[in-house]
Amino acid sequence: MSDEPQIPVSPDDETEIPESHPRYESLLTRHRIEHGVDIGITSRQGLIAQGRGEAYDYLLGERTIESADDAARAAAAHFLLADHPVISVNGNVAALVPGEVIALAEAAGADIEVNLFNRTRERMETIADHLSEHGAEDVKGLTADSEIPGLDHARAKVDADGIGSADVVLVPLEDGDRAQALSAMGKVEVVIDLNPLSRSAQAASVPVVDNIIRAVPNITRHARELQDADESELHAIVESFDPETALEAAERAIRRGE
Ligand code: ATP
Ligand code: MG
């Protein structure tokens, strides 16, 4: 018999997962994604994306590596310097970190916009409602009166007063094409993605190679810490961050455990 605390394989409720369990974070993540599919906010494709992410997280040692913490700090500085920062939310993000996204939006003065690869009116509304239940006051994305150039119509839709006019966008777990199209619009793009080789991470001004479960609260923590910093200090943080170096450090951590 192992001494590991026993837990139900498919917990009905998060509170059934003991925090002392060695795989607590991973079990919590799986539970949230499964629940997201059950309530119609996460697509079945989202389960596959999560599996891919978990494999990278395992190789990273399920921790926030130093370069990802630097990236989180640079992301926070970008948010605080921005005129109009927006956090883009898809089905996996809504399932995994709804409350955490709202806390970040508050700390960073950002808007929240639902933006889906597999866009249906119903899923858009279910996600917006889910975020409202977690305390979001204004959720954008349903107006869809603007487009990201260079993408086909259905996947390009954004709100003109949201992502359309944002200067800094956080796009966690995004597909490569859209990440590239957004950065081609000249926006500062912060990507959260556990795969440093993903085209999304490669297109980012600030790639945060970390699990979204850890990364979003970490960016919030940095934003709160930097709340009263001078603009010159924020600019210095932004300028000292190099995306190439951060991606290389993440790849080294994965390949060699450094
Ligand atoms: P590319 O960016 O190369 O075009 P892709 O975007 O098509 O690849 P997907 O599997 O669709 O690849 O995207 C999911 C991405 O999200 C993967 O890169 C995966 O590592 C990442 N991911 C999944 N779950 C998480 C998570 N919990 N935290 C952070 N990243 C995650
Ligand atoms: Mg990707």
For residue 166, report the distance from its CA to the centre of ligand 1, in Å: 23
Distance between CA 48 and CA 55 in Å, rounded? 11
199 annotated as a binding-site residue: yes
CATH number of the 66-256 domain: 3.40.50.12640
Query: For the purposes of burial, counting CB atoms within 10 Å of the CB of 6, is it exposed (0-12), middle (13-18) or buried (19 or more)?
Result: exposed
| Length of the chain, in residues | 258
For residue 90, report the distance from its CA to the centre of ligand 1, in Å: 12
Distance between CA 54 and CA 56 in Å, rounded? 5
Per-residue confidence (pLDDT) for residue 1, from 0 to 100:
44
pLDDT tens digits, residue range 184-222? 999 999 999 999 999 999 999 999 999 999 999 999 999
Interstrand relation of 146-147 and 85-89 (parallel, antiparallel or unpaired): unpaired
Per-residue pLDDT for 15 more than 80?
no
pLDDT tens digits, residue range 60-106? 999 999 999 999 999 999 999 999 999 999 999 999 999 999 999 99
Q: Which residues surround ligand 2, an ion (CB under 5 A)?
A: 176, 198, 200
Residue nearest to atom 30 of ligand 1 (CA): 193
**Section 144-171 average pLDDT:** 93
pLDDT band with cut points at 50, 70 and 90 for residue 3: low
Residue 193, ligand 1, Cβ within 6 A = yes
Query: How many angstroms separate the first and last alpha carbons of the chain?
Result: 34
What are all long-range contacts of 175-178, with beta carbons under 8 Å and residues at least 24 apart?
175/117, 175/200, 176/200, 176/202, 176/203, 177/151, 178/117, 178/148, 178/151
Structural domain boundaries of the chain?
66-256
Which of 175, 178, 182, 254 for mutating ligand 1's site (highest number of atoms within 8 Å of CB)? 175
Per-residue confidence (pLDDT) for residue 210, from 0 to 100:
98
